[in-house]
Amino acid sequence: MRGPLVLLLLLPAVALSGRDERGPAAARHGGAGTEPEPWRPGPARRSDARDPTARLAQELECRRCHAEAAHEWSGSQHAGSWSDAAFQRAFQVEPSAFCQRCHAPEEDPRATPGEVSDAAASLGIGCVTCHVEPGTARVWASPRTDAAAADARAPHPIARSPAFAEPSACAGCHEFAFPDAALRARPLAMQSTISEHRRSQTPELGCTDCHMPAGDHGHRSHAFAGAYDRAMLRRAVDVAATRPRPAQVAIRLSPGRVGHAVPTGDLLRRLAVELRVEDASGATAFVDHRYLGRRFVPRSQPSGITLREEVADDRVGVGPGDGTREARFALPEALADRPVRWRVLHQRVAHGSLDPRGAVVEGQLEIAAGTLPPP
């Protein structure tokens, strides 16, 4: 979750059609099987008092013994969950405890939004956040074949549970409703990655299968590859570009190795499909785009307050079948005999806009590109 809540509701409209009908239970929290342990982070966590300094001391002990995992984690988005510049810019616009509970989970949840200690800031989403229940020295982990021997060597008690490696372990920060649910006619999921996974073509894959792959010695990566990893994004979407007629182009996007919508999570993420044609001199003569994401419109609620409701969800992997999308373009007839360059971009916009073409792009990664010659 990144970005201020008010601005998040101004996500740019998208050009293609499609709608994902979510039931109320799924919108509230993602349905059965997604309830996280109550001590794990999430925007709804309010009551579990934490001591950031004590948690940091525990964290440093983790890093001393698990140096390889700590090194991988240090370059992850989890490590920079609070310090990330894009998040900080958004948080300054609307400092909210709702956002802080996920991005600085080791701060006491009763702290004033924005008043995050150095200890909690440096922890980000650390080892202790997922593995150590506050107020205890017990370390949670998933089962393994040599658990008895490994646990006997550990300098601390270990509690093993299959649920630790299941999607429910990630649900607290990746599946939750908008904070204004009481004002809405029906609940609406702000993030729904766990529900998307359950409805995907590969529900048998766990979050760790893709985001924490096992290495040669069984150690799972703690780099947490995701939306900022180009290789992972390229695997997530299969792209096929065709030119049915000289002045027509179709770009087809299908789910690849992925267990949720693309993009998922952050509402300010989108896919941009770009088409570009140059004239005989090499100058750009034509550019067009299609944008894939969630689309919202303002709508009055029974409470009398106008909020933005979702009216379409055109992300890859959402909707009937496997959620394949196709972006179609019409070229000017004068350029029908020219090569066409296309590319697919994973973008994050700095703020919302009702006009997707006017949104300020804060960052992007090219995940597919090519050239179609004239027929």
Sign (positive/negative) of CA torsion 93, 98, 103, 109? positive
Percentage of residues of the chain with pLDDT beyond 90: 61
182 versus 261: which is more confidently predicted?
Answer: 261
pLDDT score recorded for residue 45: 72
Please choose, from the candidates 211, 51, 44, 65, the residue with its C-alpha nearest in 3D space to the C-alpha of residue 127. Answer: 65
Q: Are 362 and 350 in contact (CB under 8 A)?
A: yes
CATH number of 230-372: 2.40.128, 2.60.40, 2.30.30, 3.30.70? 2.60.40
pLDDT score recorded for residue 26: 34
Cα distance between residue 43 and residue 45, in whole Å: 6
Cβ within 8 Å of residue 247, ≥6 positions away: 330, 331, 332, 333, 335, 336
Domain ranges of the chain: 21-211, 230-372
Section 67-95 average pLDDT = 93
pTM for this one?
A: 0.86
Q: What is the 3-state secondary structure (H, E, C) of 301-356?
A: CCCCCEEEEEEEECCECCCCCCCCEEEEEECCHHHCCCCEEEEEEEEEECCCCCCH
Cβ within 8 Å of residue 34, ≥6 positions away: 167, 168, 171, 175, 194, 195
91 versus 20: which is more confidently predicted?
Answer: 91
Residue 46 pLDDT class (50, 70, 90 cuts): low
Section 130-139 average pLDDT = 90
Report the Cα 215 to chain-centroid distance in Å: 24
Section 210-239 average pLDDT = 92
pLDDT score recorded for residue 32: 32
The torsion angles phi and psi of 108, rounded to 5 degrees, stand at -60, 125
pLDDT score recorded for residue 10: 35
Report the Cα 114 to chain-centroid distance in Å: 23
Q: What is the 3-state secondary structure (H, E, C) of 169-195?
A: HHHHHHEEECCCHHHCCCCCEEEEHHH
The torsion angles phi and psi of 42, rounded to 5 degrees, stand at 170, 155
Would you say residue 217 has pLDDT above 80?
Answer: no
pLDDT score recorded for residue 36: 57
Please choose, from the candidates 110, 140, 119, the residue with its C-alpha nearest in 3D space to the C-alpha of residue 59. Answer: 119
The first and second tokens of residue 250, run together, are: 């179709």
Residue 185 pLDDT class (50, 70, 90 cuts): confident
> pLDDT tens-digit profile of 315-359?
999 988 899 999 999 999 999 999 999 999 999 998 766 678 888
Report the Cα 302 to chain-centroid distance in Å: 31
Residue 59 pLDDT class (50, 70, 90 cuts): very high
> pLDDT tens-digit profile of 262-316?
999 998 899 999 999 999 999 999 999 999 999 888 899 988 999 988 988 999 9
Would you say residue 29 has pLDDT above 70?
Answer: no
> pLDDT tens-digit profile of 135-161?
888 899 988 888 888 889 899 999 998
pLDDT score recorded for residue 76: 96
Mean pLDDT, rounded, of the chain: 86
36 DSSP assignment: P
> pLDDT tens-digit profile of 104-124?
999 998 899 999 999 999 999
The first and second tokens of residue 299, run together, are: 């709508």
